[in-house]
Each structure stands twice: as C-alpha cells, then as structure tokens.
Amino acid sequence: MCGIFCEISIKSQQFQQHVCPESIHKSLSRRGPDVSGSCAFEINIDSRPVYLSFAGYVLHLRGNLTKQPIVSSSGDVLLWNGEIFGGKLTVDEFANDTEVLMKKLLTCSNSDEIVDILSSVNGPRAYIYYQDKSKLLWYGRDCFGRRSLLSCIKQDSFVLSSVGSRNLEMEFEEVPAKNIYCLHLSDIHEKPFLDAIQMYPLSLLPHKIDNTFDNEFPKYEETSCKCCLCENETFFDQLKAVDKVNASSSIKYCSIELLQSQFYEILLKSVRTRVNNLPRENFNESCDKKVSGFKKPCVGILFSGGIDSVVLASLADLCVPKYEPIDLINVAFQQHSSTFKLGSKKHQTTNKTVHFDVPDRISGRLALKELPTDRVWNFIEVDVTLDELKEERKNKIADLVYPLDSVLDDSIGCALWFAARGIGKLYSVSCNNSFSLIEEYYESPVKVLLCGMGADEQLGGYSRHRSKYESSGWDGLAAEMHMELDRISSRNLGRDDRCISDHGREVRFPFLDENVVSYLSKLPTCVKCDPRLPRGFGEKILLRELAGSLGLRYCSSLPKRAIQFGSKIAKIEGSKEKGAERCDRLK
C-alpha cells in the first residue's frame, strides 16, 4: 500500500523540501512509513513548459521493498497504490506487483493497450502513470473505490493525492471510480484541465473472473422470487423440501448445501488471497505454543462481533498459520451510567460513572468464545474517551474524512480511525471461556486488516432494504441493492481507506473480491435476503446459513448494527443530529 501524489502545472514550481504541501506530506508519510521517494522535472510541448512532480510513500507488503515512484529509462513514471490479486496479470508469490505492472505498461504502444491492462486487474488500486512518449497522464481507481484518490483542479495546476487537507487553498474531490482517466498534457496550455481529460468507462467487474460455479448452479430470474414463493415460505424452506428438478416448472432447484458450499469456497479463497504472501518471520511449527504474544501477528480483523467480522475471523483461522496469533480489534466509545445517592427526593444527587460496555464490546466478547480454541486470538479492547476523540478529530481525522463532511462521515471515520490504530487492552480467552487480561497497553503490529464492508450492500443487510421491499417488492429491493454496490465507492470506501491507512496498515475487503461479487450477482435477491423474516434472520440470509454451518450460532442470529451505533460513537457527544446533515465538528 502507498500514499501517492502528483502535480501537473503550467507554472514553474518552487519546492522547499517536499513536492507536496507539508500537511499532505505528513499524512502520506503515515500511510507509507517504510520508504518514500519523489521526482520533479520539466517537459516541453510545442516549446511551452509543463512541470511534473511525483511522490510515493510505501508500506511494504509484497516482494522486494520497491521505492516509488518508479521511473523508467524512457522517462515513464508509475505510482501504484494497490494489490494485484488476479485478472490478466500474474504476480508470482514473492514478486513485487508494482514492478510487474510497470514492466507490462512499458510494452504498451497505444492507449487501448494501456486501458486493457489497467481495467483487467483484480484487486484494490489507485494509480498514476505518466507515459513520456505520448505525453499522457493516466490515473484512476478500481471499480469499487477501495483505495482513495482525490483530485484538485486549479487554473494553472492539476493535483492528485491519496489524501487532502481541509485547511489548504485547494478544493479536493474524490476521483469517481467509474472510469479510467487520461490527461492529455499537450492540450493543457490551450484548454482548461477538465477539458483535457479523456474518460474510458470502467465496467463494474473486470474481464477475467473465476466462473468455477457457473455450470453448477441454475440461472435464476428475479421474477422467480415473486412467483415461486408462498406467503409463509422462504426460499431456503423451499430448497430444503426439493431435492430434484421439477420437470413441470421453468425453475431449476439446487440444494441449500450446494449454495452454502459454493459461497464458502469462494469467500474462503478471497480471505486466503488477502492473508497470504505477507512478510512473516521464519518459524518452526513444532515449537507451537498457545501463549499470547509468542508469535508476532501479521493479520488483524476489525471485530465488532457481528456476523460479517466473525465469519471473516473463522475463515482467516483456516488460512493463517496456526502458530500465528490473529488480532481482533474491538472499539468502544466512552459512555456514562447514572447512579443515585440515597436521600430525600428533593436532595437526591446523581453520580455518573464511565464505562465502555457498548453493544459491539458485548457481542465481540461473546462471539470470540465461538471461535476455534486452538488459535491464539488477541482480543484488543480499544476504549476511546470524549477528550481523546475531540483531540484526534481536530488534529488528524477531519483531514482524513475530507472532502466528505456529513455527521455520518464523522461518526464512521472516527470509529474506523481509532479501531485501526489498534491500541488498547489485550485479552485472551482461557480454556474455561473466561477472559484474562494479558497486557494493559498493547499496540497491534499488524500491517493488514480485514474488514467486512460490502456484505450489507450485496446481501440486503440494511434496514432500508426491508423498507424498500415493503414499498416496492422484490424488483425494488433488487434495484436498491444494485444501487448500493454501485455507489459504495463514493459513499464509503475512499473515506474508510484514508482513515484506516493513516496508521500504516492496509485494509482489505474479502466481500468485495471481484469473484465474490460476481458469484453473488448471479444469485436471485431472495437467496441473499428475505425481508419477510424478522430482523436478525431475514437480512443476509445466505451468510447466516454459512455462519451456522461454521458453528457460529450466536452471531448468525444477531440483527444488523452499524458501527456508529454498535460502538456508541453516535451518542458520545449527546448530539441529536441526522446522519446526512453537515457536521460542524469537521470544519
């Protein structure tokens, strides 16, 4: 993972120390703490100068430690903030994907070839590529926007950066994750920068997808959800009752066991891809001991105790070496309990005591007891006080949430920032299921965090999905869920990447793996959720069935609880604001 920055200007630039403003440099340095580099040069187009500057800040995760930007002998420049997890490009186990991509781009002789390469990669990415011979600057994000990239267009300059700052005289916007963008430098003296940008539409899914199960499960039509289900019969009730093809029906049935198996296999592969090939110390497995802290963890999970995070933990247990602990990070914000002193009603006084027993803390502790006992699970309780929240929001978080500015952005951004920091009390579970405090102060060393985002959008996890079904039926629900996934880049993931990566950790989203998305998109809505069932049962029904098969009984019946409510950050400042309102605290 990296922090990347680029500026194109038609006016000469004078840089004192860094090619980017100091406040942005500090944020980018935290994203990429292992090595950084920069370059700045001038080119001439029709005897008129154009000034280019690039900076890269690297968090080392794969292959050789590679300084960015990469500059070729031909003058091409690449900044790559991403991971190649598949697609048309193959990256060997111990190779560096930035080097592999640069080598491939250098073979391109025209724009179509560049577009083909950049659009056919599976994995999260934000990138900037300058091709010297064509005087073209390419940039963009993956179709889900899993990596942040902001842009700022001024009269005489064009800036791209992983992060921005609200106090600069620069108005940043998130680069939409709908296109691959190409800035024609030969036009910027004659046209406004915006008019010199050419866009190439980016499909929701890249070219090469794992279609292993295409011939194993039937092609359902959304209308089947409406016509084949009785009023009091769920799709899974029907699957359990039918074990062969009904020759008189146009609908082909498959077993619930098959659906669970397919979803399990493809989600497990997604998790394995995201926890493999990390820098790990050599270790003799015969020396395995179940002692917390015996082996340095490499993987952490943002762990609320909800179904998404618990399923990811269960699957990660199958992929991460058993001798290696896994950090489960659980965040809670300061709450107050009122206690009344004895005395007459008129003179009764109230004491307020501070606690952190929020819903996510309680569910996290209970869910941990259902995870396999032959693994060291580092349960990290991150407790955030009101004073600390205010201080860190002012100093860092507001700049990371920017350019978003709603109350919801504030709540989620702050919760994710503190969770990803990974500093708290370290607990483990003993053989009799009791909690033991191991360390009063623990700071997670992991560089990779797994996060369950994307599950609600694809599996009907939000309460608004139930409302949409009630008002518009199955067709309306299907359209709503498609819209949720389509807008996830602008509403969620750029902000989340900026806040989490500020601690030098890379967030990875197994539910948004291209192959997982492709698989779920082929299933009818009624397989993924059934809004006619009560809360805690009808949402994400396919995932609940999978959790049950993994022995995760507690989380498989929990209703959806958003992070701002589960961590209680939405209540800590006593505000009655609505989520969509502009947040004055972010100014």
Beta bridge partners of 532: none
Hey, is 54 helix, strand or coil?
strand
User: Six-digit token pair at 237?
Assistant: 């009730």
| Cα of 282 vs its chain's centroid, Å | 29
Q: Tell me the torsion sign for CA atoms 546, 551, 557, 559.
A: negative
**319 a catalytic residue:** no
CA–CA dist 371, 145 (Å, integer) = 31
Is residue 81 within 8 Å of residue 145, measured between CB atoms?
A: no
Q: Exposed, middle or buried, 534 (CB in 10 Å: 0-12/13-18/19+)?
A: exposed
Give the integer Cα–Cα distance in Å for 495 and 149.
Answer: 10
Distance of alpha carbon 94 from alpha carbon 100, whole angstroms: 11
CA dist., res. 473 & res. 68, Å (int)? 51
Give the pair of three-digit tokens for residue 220.
């359902």
Buried b (16+ CB within 10 A) or exposed e, 416-443: bbbbbbbebbbbbbeeeeeeeeeeeebe
Which listed residue (2, 20, 499, 583) is catalytic? Answer: 2
Residue 72, both tokens:
């070729």
Rg of the chain taking only CA atoms, in angstroms: 25
Catalytic residues: 2
